[in-house]
Chain A
């Protein structure tokens, strides 16, 4: 009995600690700017929330920095990993290299559900419906007829069970290539940031400036991660990303200088007080190869990052040490007019188009360039909507004039109004080669009410996705799989470098019926039927 008061005190104390535990989460803001060849400037914002917490159903009951609405969706639909991107414009790999986050034009969503989740198709439909509300995008149009479960191309980025890896039956992938992305998506997206758009780097995201770009992409990437080296502690990571490519000629005066203020419409103000790091990186590698520019103010730190045999120089600004609470600008001034030299394309890039003429038979042709001196194995994922019925026996892979066989082939034929055509190939691209993958299809004829209001505009066909592990990191900017921040990509040499390359979105102009004719057609066809019925009735009943 003597120890009772003490044990009560200990209990109460423990209880208090559990209740009043300070959430172990961090928020990081980063901006990466890279001048691209010609007059393009690439800027990539990444807002990362890291949360050191076990991942279970009640994790999101109390959120601190993590956006609560998103957390609710993740908990409710048993999502393990979620990737959403909303993109306008096409990333031009051949001239621009690889972006940090790859995204096809339009909307792209894919999610891994937790192992043991039942009724995944329903949950997927509800999840996309809820996401559509969260992001004000038409993700509610995602249904079984445009979703698939790729078996090879997509693997979980976050932690997975080593003994029983999550298989593709827990994965749903879908794209909406026709999706238009604009301010109504940006505003709710910004609302999920801890500092909203009032302070910190997110204050730079003014819709009247970021929609002047030739390419813009919003991203939302959630995954469970390891919090230490041996992965004994796990946590959650949410990356909210914005990729923008400005064409300086479009944004204003045809001059080569650029600055934060000119790109985003305002200077940088105060930092977000909730952020642990607020860093700006500017890739100044091109300073060594001709187009020399000066940064003003001078960077506090310049790092040389060597990665996969290629080094780049990066100027780093820490926003906590700049500005003294006032607005300030970072500008790049070129000493002379920019020289547009020959651009060295990256190792792997693609182009894609439709072949054939008329609206009866056509073909889809994808050309894949491999500029490496060694063969590269790639995964090729076709996502063909049901209204483009393809013939698998017409699949042809030709490399440098020689037909090659895929190492692996996965195919599920599509079904009208139910399921898209899914084709996944593993191909070994010969060294320094141009490989073309072609498929023949027939134009489908739809019911008149299935055509969109502007029927002759055509139907969109989602991008094909090429996945590879590159042996070199030339033009490579992505984060390593084990890193969460842009900072972690500095000097991150690994065995190979994961890339996803998405191709162009195609438009197919399907043959249309005459939309003004339903009554006439019904009447005429019925007349002909009556024409058959009348005399037959007459003949068979006449005595």
Chain B
């Protein structure tokens, strides 16, 4: 196992380094699918250049990184400009390894839980249970999915700050499953500081950490207050670095009000391009609520016992895989037709992003559904024939 483990790392590092040093690096870094307003390396370079000129980078609207990131990247760019690629690759590999550790811990927990609850399970579900082999291979799968996911590779090669966001999130997961409160709050704070949306993860963090404590309410309050203090400390640190609160506007207002309508693989850009002016505020509110809070309550209520999910029983994986592959290929093609050949228009690209979003939604719903289905089977057993018709669980 150690062999395959190492070889995976070697191959992943090799792919990244080769791409970083190839002539494709610039092209990849400029793709709209990868570099967005919030993470692009070109904008980081501009922000650092402005900072070095003595101009506050937050007065303009090109730079949207945090002041902490600004200091760090300024250090990278001025002191070790040759090693920037290595830093990004290192972060990415570290993320994969942390994910592996997190998955290992989580699998162990699940395995223990399974042993404990074995008595309650129905008969004939042995192939649904986890075995020793799963216990070993699942973390490896998690890691290789991260290491060889084309989107992660491209993000790393394009030097986007998503790489750092992933690192913070993986630390959040690891410290969450290990029950390290302060560590997870700190990592989550950094992730939230950078892109705001991870704030929804505070709910699973609170829930997971409170799982093993005697007084759940105190634990939740403690976690929340640690998180709030971390956030305050981080914001104040940012303020000290730049000496101004303008960065709040530049980062969070820019995320929440969608002022930049550059296309990306999301849906917001064209939706808000074509929006009628008097409905803009309404839709900004409803979409942002939709993206953050709307699903938080029901999902955390439903899956409170198991904040980290694991998939086994997916139905439509083939369709989803195909549509993700097709849209990934079609996206750049249609972009070229629109922006360079001028023979297509914005609708083509929007169509592709719609399909991409739909397939991702299917992926998530399918995952959740398969989880529920597994739960159901564990309780009532796998049925066949007439019984199955009676107790059919449908995605409707």
Contact = CB atoms under 8 A, between A and B. Distances in A.
B271 interface: yes
B149 to A, nearest CB: 22
Contact of A514 (B60, B271, B347): B347
A389 B271 contact: no
A449 interface: yes
Contacts of A412: 55, 59-60
A525 interface: yes
A536 B49 CA distance: 45
Interface of A is mostly: mixed
Contacts of B262: 442, 444-445
A473 B266 CA distance: 59
B60 A415 contact: yes
A417 to B, nearest CB: 8
Contacts of A360: 30, 32, 339-340
A415 B299 contact: no
Contact of A391 (B42, B299, B302): B42
Given A393-B45, A525-B270, A539-B369, A511 B339 contact: yes
Interface string B349-364: 0100010011001001
A525 B267 contact: yes
Interface string B258-283: 01111100010111111111000000
B213 interface: no
Nearest to B360: A532
Interface in B287-307: 287, 290, 294-295, 298-299, 301-302
Contact of B274 (A414, A518, A532): A518
A533 B372 contact: no
B345 interface: yes
Interface in A336-376: 357-361
B46 interface: yes
Contact of A513 (B270, B361, B372): B270
Interface of B is mostly: helix
A531 interface: yes
Contact of A536 (B32, B270, B298): B298
A518 B342 CA distance: 21
Interface in A489-543: 511-514, 517-518, 521-522, 524-525, 528-529, 531-533, 535-542
Contact of B302 (A411, A445, A517, A539): A539
B261 A540 contact: no
A359 B340 CA distance: 6
B346 A531 contact: no
Given A411-B53, A529-B290, A521 B271 contact: yes
B190 to A, nearest CB: 26
A226 interface: no
A511 B53 contact: no
Given A412-B59, A448-B273, A514-B345, A536 B261 contact: no
B340 A357 contact: yes
Nearest to A391: B46
Contacts of A513: 270, 273-274, 345-346
17 contacts: A357-B340, A392-B49, A409-B53, A413-B50, A414-B60, A445-B260, A445-B261, A445-B269, A446-B261, A448-B273, A514-B345, A518-B274, A521-B350, A522-B274, A525-B354, A539-B302, A539-B372
